[in-house]
Structure 1
Amino acid sequence: MQGYTYTKGEHYPMEHLVFKVAPEDVERYLEVDHEIWTLKEAYAPGFDHIPFLYKEVWLNDNKPGEIHLIFAWESIESWREIDQKEYQAQLIKEFDEKFGRPYELIRVVQNEENFGVHRYSRFERI
C-alpha cells in the first residue's frame, strides 16, 4: 500500500500515565509537562541520546481535564535508568513548583500490567 509503512516484531516498553487537572489548567499543565518531564527526560544526565522513541499526549473529550501521557521507550533498561528515585523526585519538585496548581495521577497502566505492555507493531501513514 503506497503512502503507509508497517513494521512488526518490535518490543518497545510502553509507559501510560493518566492525570486529572482542572479543565482550565490543561494547557498550562501540558506546557510545564513538556518543559520539565519531556525535555528533562529526553536530555537526562548519563545519556548520549534521547532514551525514548516518542511521547504522545492524549486528551479525553468525554472527561475534560483527563490527560494521558504515552511513552515508547527504547528499552526497559533505559526506562529504569531514567526512573531512578532521586532524579524523579527532583523532576516532581521542579514540576510542582512551576505548575503550582492541583493535579492528580489517577492511573499508572504499566504498574497495573507489571510492565508487560509493549509496542509490537505500527501501521502509519508517511
Structure 2
Amino acid sequence: MSHEESSTPQSYRYLKDERLPVEVLVFEVAPEDLEDFLALDHEIWTLKEAFGQGLPHVPFISKEVWLNDSRPGQATLVFVWESMEAWDTVGQTEFQEALQAEFDARFGRPVRLVRAYHELAEMGIHRYSRFERDEEPTVG
C-alpha cells in the first residue's frame, strides 16, 4: 500500500446530545465458567429482553460485553437503551424475576454482581455523544 492510499481518511460521524440511558453491570464468575455464562446471558437476557415483552422492536440500541484480561471471569455488560420508558418496560419485576429464575436453573454455578454503575449513579448515566466509523474498513 502506498503512502497516498494509507493516508486516505475514512468516513466518520459524530453525534451528540443523544441523552440515551445506559445500564452498566459488572459480573464475576469462575474463569472456566465465563464462556458458558456469556452464552447463556445472550440466550436468556439479551434475546428475551430484546423480544420477550411483545414490543414492536428491540428496546435497546446496543449491548456490548467487555472482558478484562487482568480479571479473568469478570464481564462488564453495557446496554444503551432507546429511552427510560423502554428500559422500564423490560425492567418490570415479574419479567425480570422469570428471566433470573430461568438463568439460575440453567446456569447452576455462582455468579456475583460486582457493580451496577447505573444504580450507583441513580439511573443518571447516559450517552451524550459518539464518534464512530460509518463503515468497517476493508482488510486486504
TM bin, normalised by shorter chain, reads over 0.9
Report the CA distance between 1:5 and its aligned residue.
1.4
Deviations 1:97-124 (A, max 9, x none): 1111111111011110001110011111
TM-score (norm 2): 0.87
Report the CA distance between 1:4 and its aligned residue.
1.3
TM-score (norm 1): 0.96
Q: Which among 95, 98, 107 is matched to residue 106 of structure 2? A: 98
For residue 63 of structure 1, give the secondary structure of its aligned residue in structure 2. coil
Deviations 1:7-46 (A, max 9, x none): 1110110000000000010100000000000000000223
1:25 alignment partner in structure 2: 33
Report whether the alignment pairs 1:61 with 2:69: yes
Report how many aligned residue pairs link the two structures.
126
User: Percent of pairs identical after alignment?
Assistant: 55
CA RMSD of aligned residues (A): 1.0
Structure 1: gaps of 5 or more residues: none
Structure 2: gaps of 5 or more residues: 1-8, 136-140
Report the CA distance between 1:2 and its aligned residue.
3.5
1:48 alignment partner in structure 2: 56
| Moved beyond 6 Å, runs of 4+ | none
Q: Distance in 2 between matches of 1:110 and 1:22?
A: 24
